[in-house]
Amino acid sequence: MDMLKILSAIVLFFLFSCSGEKGKELMVDNVTMEIASPFPPNQVTLSESWIRDREQLNTWYLKSLDADRLLHNFRENAGLPSGFQPLDGWEAPWIGLKGHFTGHYLSAISFLIHQYNDSTFLNRLNYMVDELLKCQQAFGNGYLSAFPERDFDVLEIRFGGVWAPYYTYNKIMQGLLDAYIYAGNETALEMAITMAGYVETRMSKLDDQSIEKVLYSVGANPMNEAGAMNEVLYKLYKVTNDPAHLALAQLFDRDWFLKPLGNNENILSGLHSNTHIVLVNGFAEAYPVNKEEKYRDAVVNFWDMLINHHIYANGSSSGPRPNVITPTSLTAEHWGVPGQLSNTMTKEIAETCVSHNTQKLSASLFSWTADPKYADAYMNTFYNSVMALQSAQTGKCVYHLPLGSPRQKAFLNENDFRCCNGSSIEAYAKLNSAIYFHNHSTLWVNMYIPSKLNWADKGIVVEQTGNFPENPEVEFTVSTMNSSEFELMLFIPSWAKRVEVFVNGEKQKLKTKPESFLGLKRKWENNDKVNLVFEYDFHLKTMPDDENVFALFYGPMLLAFESGSELILKGNHESVLSKLSTGEKNGIFHLKNNGSTYTLRPLFNIENEMYGVYATIRNY
């Protein structure tokens, strides 16, 4: 350790050792631990708002599903009687991924049980776990899945040839682990442990060369996609402290991916996006456990590569592959050449799973660093990707969120059960996450969503109200039995050039700057109020490789043109922005250009209309 690192460790020791925060860890030798901790899900509840309405659409859909149909393929695979109709789509009996959605389902309802103590979901979860246990016991070797065990045999011989058995196995393991962590089901934990034992037994029979081939997934749409096996195994280790689970998790961390990222080599071009972003989320789970610098570097570097070179204006990514090998890679699901996005605007960009996992990664990095750039990325992805991919009328989600022109959202049927349906039911069951973070003396507010925070350790309740982002004013009310001193850190996004701040009705003389936190440190009394009033303006984001291709924003909201034609504009950036105006109704905007008047709305309010996001200036 050099002298600079020694001095850094000493300084950080005095900064953090006095906090006494449970779970708070020291930053030593450039190893960054958690600075800003997220709250347990049951301490943050959504209040009435359009966000809460979206959550309820998802909850209604989850309750409409039949547990026995979700279990059918598992029973059939285990040789047990079912008598129920199988699911459709990617859960149909002849599809290799069958069983993955059931894993997502267990995770989603576990989150909601933890938040709302929902007895309907709790009874259903306990029933499903008990029935899945019967399936696992029927196999007798720890195996549990809806696809046949021989798929693993094929994978280990051909290193492909079957559709991603570890991907599906991971979803089931994660669902069971979440059933334990969030719903307290002890049986589910034992089942997840037994599933891990099955994987350990299989891997122990393979030599290093075979394991490398099983997990080497650099091709187009890799059939050996391993999912987030490393992530779920690290999470399992955090529960069990069993060294075998740690060793197994590390087995899924492959040097061909980890080392280049740790060395800041952008190797993303041509990779299948969701196959690899979940591995990075696994590295993020690994780092607090193993404290190895290469894991932290890999996560930080990957995020920088993604955000700076592969992300569209709404914080999402994935599209056509530079070297087209499969039909899907012609239009979707891969990362392209860094910084070259203007020629990727197919109808199948921005896969929903990738958006969810990008958001998850930004939240992890914020917890390590409390850096506002991660909060900024999270907010953008939340409003302009995640909230834009669900129908506000039906709750259906999209697989892809196209941003070219003209485009239309292709909402998946409720019985399709693709990977993005599964990711979405989890995401919409966790809309209360990443709003607030804390340590013993600081409360960060990263998202402006009507909600109630019960900061149990301090005996404080913070209620947030408003209709952000369509209304730029947000109010916070602090409730406490006794005076309490802490610093309230309010996020100022990158688009916010001016913000007015009021404490108990008194305007504060405070300077704010974009992409920062505004700190209010005081002894808080019962019923203290804080108001934020953001000033919105129109601004744009250009494609990194073509400044004449751009997307328009109003404050935090990405705007979509209501148009069935290709968006070709005249003028320049300044003249386009100068001709934008707010409409007669909230959430409606107009642009006058080249003799036409365009109507625009936030992308998250687009339903079945033809629309366009990126426009192109052509002055010839």
Number of domains in the chain: 4
User: How many Å separate Cα 141 from the centre of its chain?
Assistant: 34
Beta bridge mates, 522: 486
d(CA 159, CA 162) in angstroms, rounded, equals: 9
User: Do residue 454 and residue 590 come from a single domain?
Assistant: no
Residue 311 included in any domain: no
Question: Tell me, what's the pLDDT at 618?
Answer: 97
Instruction: Judge contact between 599 and 583, C-beta under 8 A.
Output: yes
Q: Are residues 106 and 236 in the same domain?
A: yes
Q: Is position 324 within any domain?
A: no
pTM (two decimals): 0.94
Which amino acid would we find at residue 509?
A: K
Q: Answer for the pair 403, 314: CB distance below 8 angstroms, yes or no.
A: yes
Looking at the structure, tell me whether residues 602 and 517 fall in a common domain: no
Evaluate whether residue 94 is within a structural domain.
yes
Q: Identify the pLDDT of residue 44.
A: 98
Omega of the bond leading into 288 within 30 degrees of 0 (cis): no
Tell me what pLDDT residue 10 has: 36
Asked if residue 202 and residue 159 are part of one domain, the reply reads yes
Question: Does 14 reside within a domain?
Answer: yes
Tell me the CATH number at 510.
2.60.40
Do the domain assignments include residue 255? no
Question: Among 514, 534, 554, where does a domain finish?
Answer: 534
| Shared domain check, 576 and 528 | no
Which parts of the chain register pLDDT below 70? Answer: 1-33
The predicted pLDDT at position 33 comes to 60
- The pLDDT of residue 16: 35
| Residue 112 lies inside a defined structural domain of this protein | yes
543 and 523: one domain? Answer: no
Indicate whether 564 belongs to any domain: yes
Q: Which of 214, 249, 284 is the endpoint of a domain?
A: 249
Shared domain for 142 and 215, answered yes or no, is: yes
Same domain, 474 and 598: no
Q: Which residues constitute the domain of residue 454?
A: 436-534
Q: Which of these, 361, 271, 253, lies nearest to 316 by C-alpha position?
A: 361
Query: What pLDDT does residue 30 have?
Result: 34
- 502 and 576 share a domain? no
Are 527 and 542 contained in the same domain?
A: no
Pair (498, 572) in one structural domain: no
Pairing of strands 506-507, 499-503: antiparallel
Domain finish residue from 534, 564, 582: 534
> Does residue 509 lie in a domain region?
yes
Residues 146, 233 share a domain: yes
